[in-house]
């Protein structure tokens, strides 16, 4: 059987996604009931980080430990990757010693090349273009709170960034419609828009986009690597803050999500994260459960 990777949501079929989400929900319930699993006993997860992280690192490292394996944290500052050893050489060597690898890096081409030369499954733990692991957690969270996302209206407000791109992929996989509201010049990738025209509607203001929303999402205006554009972005994104006044224009049972870290006073106000709309704390916790299910799936431990 060929090695399965998870570089974008497009690597999963709708039924595989459903299996992973159902397993994540079960693992969460069983963990709170004290049920232990050893499905990945003695497996080693290589965790390559070329960018900062709190949730991704903790959820992967705790997740593999819960399943009986162990995580190996590899920062580019402390490995030869940071000194210019080629990706393909690193992929061959690291994958010969561990069972599964996650990478957080800059260009998406880096994880693609790593996967090409890896003999074990590779998971994209965020690139400049995509953040598919976060979407597993977000889909799990919506499913737990409101049921299936199929046919729903999801509204992305803010930068057309890696998270926005992953929401476009999710729209196709989960069969929902995606409204995207972003300032001119900050739209998502044009090719992705063109390929998914039947799934998305673009807006240039948040109030029009949020009408009919079942699920509202935002993210930082300045992603990792864009720090020097911060002030220009604060100016450009004026009017794109998610707050209770905006959420009142959504459907009555709309939920609010944010992948975190969040910047209060910028893309959100001070109170929305702790308002009745918010499911952000469940969303953050679900990174743990969703990625445990993902690792079981990629290692062939998740039965049909």
Cis peptide preceding 240, ω within 30 of 0: no
Whole-number Å distance between alpha carbons of 95 and 122: 9
161 makes contact, choosing from ligand NVA, ligand CP, none, with CB < 5 to 8 Å by partner type, with ligand NVA
Residue 125 makes contact with ligand NVA by CB under 6 A = no
With both helix axes pointing from N to C terminus, report the angle between 162-174 and 14-32 in degrees, rounded to the nearest 10. 100
Any catalytic annotation for residue 134?
yes
**Sign of dihedral through CA atoms 72, 78, 80, 83?**
positive
Q: Does the active-site annotation cover 231? A: no
Binding mask 64-93 for ligand NVA (x = CB under 6 A): ------------------------------
Q: List beta partners, residue 191.
A: none
Give whichever of 95 and 220 is closer to ligand NVA, judged by the CB atom. 220
**C-alpha–C-alpha distance, residues 298 and 280, integer Å:** 26
Enter the DSSP assignment of 3: P
Among 90, 118, 124, 162, binds ligand NVA (CB under 6 A): 162
Question: Taking CA 89 as the corner, what is the angle to CA 85 and CA 95, rounded to the nearest 5 degrees?
Answer: 120
Q: If binding is defined by CB under 6 A, does position 259 make contact with ligand NVA?
A: yes
User: By the 8 A CB rule, do 271 and 245 touch?
Assistant: no
Is 182 labeled as catalytic in the residue annotation? no
User: 270 phi and psi, to 5 degrees?
Assistant: -70, -25
* Chosen from ligand CP, ligand NVA, none, partner binding at 54 (C-beta under 5 to 8 Å by type): ligand CP
Number of residues that bind ligand NVA (CB under 6 A): 10
- Binding residue for ligand NVA (CB under 6 A) from 25, 58, 193, 224? 224
| Closest separation in Å from C-beta 54 to ligand CP | 3
Distance from C-alpha of 66 to C-alpha of 50, rounded to nearest angstrom: 25
To ligand NVA, the closest distance from the beta carbon of 12 in angstroms equals: 20
Pick from 124, 169, 220, 291: which binds ligand NVA (CB under 6 A)?
A: 220
52 or 271: whose CB is closer to ligand NVA?
52
- Comparing CB distances to ligand NVA, the nearer of 106 and 117 is 106
Residue 8 binds ligand NVA, judged by CB under 6 A = no
**Distance set, CA 116 to CA 17, 92, 123, 144, 161 (Å):** 23, 9, 12, 35, 25
287 is catalytic: yes
Q: Which stretch binds ligand NVA (CB under 6 A): 40-48, 70-78, 159-167, 248-256?
A: 159-167
How far is 288 from 59, CA to CA, in rounded Å? 4
CA atoms within 13 A on the CB side of 34: 0
Task: List active site positions.
Answer: 104, 131, 134, 219, 259, 287
**Residues at the contact surface with ligand NVA, assessed by CB under 6 A:** 126, 131, 161-163, 219-220, 223-224, 259
């Amino acid at each position: 059987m060929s090695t399965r990777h998870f570089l974008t949501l497009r690597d999963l079929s709708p039924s595989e996604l459903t299996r992973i989400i159902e397993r994540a929900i079960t693992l969460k319930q069983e963990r709170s009931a004290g049920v232990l699993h050893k499905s990945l006993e003695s497996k080693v997860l290589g965790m390559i980080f070329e960018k900062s992280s709190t949730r991704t690192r903790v959820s992967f490292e705790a997740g593999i430990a819960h399943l009986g394996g162990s995580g190996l944290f590899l920062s580019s500052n402390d490995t030869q990757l940071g000194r210019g050893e080629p990706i393909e050489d690193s992929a061959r060597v690291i994958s010969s010693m561990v069972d599964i690898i996650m990478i957080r890096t800059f260009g998406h081409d880096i994880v693609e090349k790593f996967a090409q030369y890896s003999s074990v499954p590779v998971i994209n733990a965020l690139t400049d273009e995509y953040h598919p692991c976060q979407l597993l957690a977000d889909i799990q969270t919506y499913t737990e709170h409101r049921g299936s996302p199929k046919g729903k209206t999801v509204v992305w407000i803010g930068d057309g960034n890696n998270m926005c791109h992953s929401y476009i992929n999710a729209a196709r996989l989960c069969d929902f419609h995606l409204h995207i509201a972003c300032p001119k010049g900050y739209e998502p990738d044009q090719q992705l828009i063109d390929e998914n025209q039947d799934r998305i509607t673009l807006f240039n203001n948040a109030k029009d986009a949020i009408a009919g929303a079942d699920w509202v999402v935002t993210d930082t205006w300045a992603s990792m690597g864009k720090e020097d554009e911060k002030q220009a972005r604060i100016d450009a994104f004026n009017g794109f803050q998610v707050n209770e006044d905006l959420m009142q224009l959504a459907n009555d049972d709309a939920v609010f999500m944010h992948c975190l870290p969040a910047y209060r006073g910028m893309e959100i106000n001070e109170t929305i994260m702790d308002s009745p709309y918010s499911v952000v704390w469940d969303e953050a916790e679900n990174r743990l459960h969703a990625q445990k299910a993902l690792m079981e799936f990629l290692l062939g431990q998740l039965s049909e």
